[in-house]
Amino acid sequence: MILLDTPVISALMDPAPDARILSWFAGNPAARLHISTVTEAELLAAAARLPDGLRQRTIAQIDAMVAEDFAGRVLPLDSAAARDLAAILARAARTGQSIPMVAAQNAAIARANGARLATLNPNAFAGTGVDLINPLDQEPRYVE
């Protein structure tokens, strides 16, 4: 199982996506790729700031992606993830590390589900205990 971080999804939604990301994405079975409700919220929040026409089209694109492309593969920030989130934030506080809340939430969801996390910003997840994949550096295949 691979959880896709928001920038990975954003890169895929780009009108001219990076060929390396497309290759990596195409090289992984769809059933292994998941998004989180946190990523869904981030995408919708970004879309809400767009001008009217573009906002409506982008929200429709996000809704279709969630309902069709990731049907049954949207992971929530549930109670198990909340416990992992608390552990990640406590560790960061103890070590003086700064971790963005959204990164901590996605790391917690990945940990709670035993998933690897595909991200374009591995440094944001330092110290979370999550196995990271950078699609820009990774061969386009799933590694169990």
Sorted by sequence, the CB contacts under 8 Å of residue 119 that are 6+ apart come out as 5, 7, 8, 125, 132, 133, 134
Q: Is 5 annotated as a binding residue?
A: yes
In the chain the first and final C-alpha atoms are separated, in Å, by: 8
- Residue 24 has a CB neighbour count (10 Å cut-off) of 23
DSSP-assigned letter for residue 38:
H
Find, among 139, 127, 110, 128, the residue nearest to 2 by Cα.
110
Binding residues: 5
Binding residues for Mg(2+): 5
